[in-house]
Structure 1
Amino acid sequence: MSSVVETVQNVVTPILDECHFELVDVEFVKEGKNWFLRVFIDKPGGIDIEECALVSEKLSEKMDQLDPDPIPQAYFLEVSSPGAERPLKKESDYEQALNEYIHVSLYQNIEGEKQYEGFLTSYDSENLTLLVRIKTREKEFTFSRKNIAKARLAIQF
Structure 2
Amino acid sequence: MEKKNTAALVRELAQPICDELGLFLWDVRYEKEGSSFYLRVFIDSDDGISIEDCENVTRPLSKALDEADPIKEQYVLEVGSPGLGRELRRPEHFEACIGDALKVKLIRPAADGRKEFIVGLDSYDKEKIYGHETDDDGNVLDPIEIKISDCAYIKLYDDNDLF
Q: TM-score range by the shorter chain?
A: 0.7 to 0.9
Asked if structure 1 preserves the Cα contact closer than 8 Å seen for 2:132 and 2:140, the reply is no
2:52 is aligned, of 50, 68, 73, to 50
Q: 1:134 to 1:14 in 2, by over 3 A?
A: closer
CA contact (8 A) 2:103 2:155 kept: yes
> SS state of the match for residue 109, structure 1?
coil
Per the normalisation by structure 2, the TM-score is 0.82
Contact preservation (8 Å) 1:132, 1:140: no
Matched, 1:2 2:8: no
- Report what 2:76 is aligned to: 76
SS in 1 for 2:18: helix
Gaps of 5+ in 1: none
Q: Following TM superposition, where does structure 1 have runs of at least 4 consecutive aligned residues deviating by more than 6 angstroms? A: 134-137
Distance 1:134 1:12, change over 3 A: closer
Report what 1:113 is aligned to: 114
Q: What's the CA shift for 1:156? A: 2.3
- TM alignment of 1:10-25, pairs within 5 A: 10-25=12-27
1:63 aligns with 2:65: yes
Runs (5+) with no aligned partner, structure 2? none
Distance in 1 of aligned mates of 2:73 and 2:24? 27
Deviation at 1:78, TM superposition (A): 0.4
- SS of 2:135's equivalent in the other structure is strand
Number of aligned residues: 154
More strand by share: 1
Match of 1:102 in 2: 102
Indicate the RMSD between aligned Cα atoms, in angstroms: 2.3
SS in 2 for 1:117: strand
Identity %: 31
Name the aligned partner's letter for residue 100 of structure 2.
E
Q: Partner letter of residue 63 of structure 2? A: E
Give the corresponding residue for 1:26. Answer: 28
Instruction: Provide closer, same or farther for how the CA distance between residues 137 and 94 of structure 1 changes in structure 2, counting only shifts above 3 A.
Output: closer
2 CA distance for matches of 1:84 and 1:134?
17
TM-score normalised to structure 1 length: 0.84
